[in-house]
Amino acid sequence: MKKAIRIFSQITAVVAISAGLMIYLVVKPSLAILIPAIIECLGFLIILRINEKTDYRVTSLLYFTLQNIATLYFGLVLEPAAGVHIMCLFNAGIVIILYTSRRDRWLAWTVVGILFFIMVLNYAYRFVPVVIPSANNLLTYIIYPVIFLHILIVFNLYADVNHKLVEKERLQTNELYEKTQQLEKLDRFKNAFIAENSHELRSPIQIIFTISEMLKAKVMGKAGLLSAQELVNDLHISVDHARSIINNGLVFSKLEQGLPNPANSQPLNIRRFIADIRTIYQYYGKQRNIHIDYSVTASFPNNILTDKVKLKQILGNLIENAIKYNREGSNIFVRIQETAATFRIVIEDQGPGLSAEQADRIFDLYATSNPGTGSGIGLYVTKKLVTLLGGTIQASGKPGKGTTFTLVFPLHPTYEEEEHSRYNDYFDGRGLKALVIEDDSFTQKYLSKFLETYLGFEAEIAGTGAKALEMSRNSDYAVIFLDAYLPDIRLADLISAFSKERQQAPIVLTSGASRESIREELSPEEQVLLNNIKGFLSKPYSFDEISTFLMENIAQHKNL
């Protein structure tokens, strides 16, 4: 709009003074024409200046007003033969360019129509005396080119504006089409993810259900079943498998939402760690007669600093992937070796291998070498986790000759021992009371039983926030396990109430949601309350995680 007003003002100022001087010098030396022409020229120059510093709506109104006043004046003092009234076409045309609102356009056109009507009446009844008689044809030769030039400018600018609108609409249409395609693609991915993840979870859930049926039958004295030890081992492996699938989904959700997922470096005994990983997945692999072999170089440090949880998820995803795609009766090799500043983990299988094209896109979201056998997020999540640990990962292989994943991480040796070696036994909670605030009856039952039977706590249960507040006023608890989502009260309100009650017991927050997503649901003022939370257990959590938290946060309190 500013560009149109600038062009209109420049051309009209030049044309006004030029036409005024030509009429004065060639047609008739009349100050009634020259002075208004000079004033019109100065007016448009002033508008040109104002246009640089003011909103276009102000200058468009000024331009439209001055243009119509000039048209009316010259249309009144000149005869019809001069054709000034034709300028009303120009004035009506610029309305399309200057105004986008339908109301403003119709108002402006009404003004132009009224002015045209006044000029026509003046031609008929001559209210204003004629300055230059129509007998002088030179006037017509000057005025008509001016009118033609103005109308030509309007057409040109209108065509330019229309072209830009058409181009803008085309770009918007293309952008909308691309976004629609992306949304449709994401929708297909989402449906595939849900379907595949549901399929992935059905297997361990089916095993868990079958084992529970067998245990139930065994308790009832049915013969011919597997041993209790074997059933329990199978149950533990199936639960761990289901948890790894769920953890991939949780990490994926964090990545998609842009939530922080920083590395939490702690001392880790790499030999014990890889032996535990091998034990878990060897049990899983024996179902297909797949053997997992591992080796750690003799010079590798006993303990390193890294994020144990993330590294376990990385190796679990890769080894599980290798078991899934490996040939029955084949081997998987896991080798760990150090260099000066890094350590390398190499995982090789003897499966169908990868083509170069598959290796290039294997870490892409929803990519899978064999549709229908996975959700397509495991390796995507794995690469993101590797990056979070400051490492790199590469896939290589040849069709029919197996696949190799090579991971490289920064090496940070430490003399500090990992927590597992410091806390070989469960926490001793004898003589202490614990409060379990949980609305799920099964979680109430098994968490309280663990606290009482294994740790020696006196455990009390509250199914609602109101009950928890009432119980906390009447008892001195050593620790409080708090579910993040209770039916009767918001998390922030309950923590605030505990704070006002001067509840000193450390609070452990438990939830199936991530810590970051819980924080996102709170206002900035409420997020401060989370500073009162001493620990976070992501469901499903293990007894070891509970005991470790108690060792770190309650043991010193107990010894006082």
Query: What digits encode the pLDDT tens for the residues 172-192?
Result: 888 888 888 878 776 766 665
| CA torsion angle 185 187 192 197 (round to 10) | 130
The pTM score is 0.52
Question: Contact, 456 vs 428, CB < 8 A?
Answer: yes
Q: What is the mean pLDDT of residues 390-411?
A: 91
pLDDT of residue 134: 60
pLDDT of residue 345: 95
CA distance 257 to 259: 5
Q: Is the pLDDT of residue 238 over 60?
A: yes
Summarize pLDDT for 116-159 with one digit per residue, the tens. Answer: 999 889 888 888 888 887 655 666 777 777 777 776 776 676 66
Q: Is the pLDDT of residue 516 over 80?
A: no
pLDDT of residue 423: 39
Q: What is the mean pLDDT of residues 238-251?
A: 70
Q: What is the mean pLDDT of residues 364-369?
A: 64
Average pLDDT over all residues of the chain? 80
Would you place residue 337 in the very low, low, confident or very high pLDDT band (cuts 50, 70, 90)? Answer: very high
Q: Is the pLDDT of residue 310 over 80?
A: yes
CA distance 402 to 497: 59
Q: What is the mean pLDDT of residues 26-52?
A: 84
Summarize pLDDT for 442-486 with one digit per residue, the tens. Answer: 888 888 888 988 888 999 999 999 999 999 888 889 999 999 888
Q: Is the pLDDT of residue 424 over 60?
A: no
* Triad 318, 270, 417: Cα angle to 5°: 145
Of 361-370, 371-380, 434-443, 482-491, which range is least confident?
A: 371-380
Q: Is the pLDDT of residue 199 over 60?
A: no
Going through 245-402 in order, the beta strands assigned E by DSSP cover 266-269, 291-296, 303-306, 331-338, 342-349, 392-397
pLDDT of residue 193: 60
Summarize pLDDT for 202-213 with one digit per residue, the tens. Answer: 656 766 776 677
pLDDT of residue 538: 81
Percent of the chain with pLDDT over 70: 82
Q: What is the mean pLDDT of residues 367-381?
A: 62
Write the CB contacts of 230 (distance below 8 Å, at least 6 apart in sequence): none
pLDDT of residue 27: 77
Q: How many residues does the structure list for the chain?
A: 560
pLDDT of residue 559: 44
Phi-psi region of 266 (alpha: psi -120 to 50; beta: other; left: phi over 0): beta
pLDDT of residue 346: 95
Write the CB contacts of 10 (distance below 8 Å, at least 6 apart in sequence): 44, 48
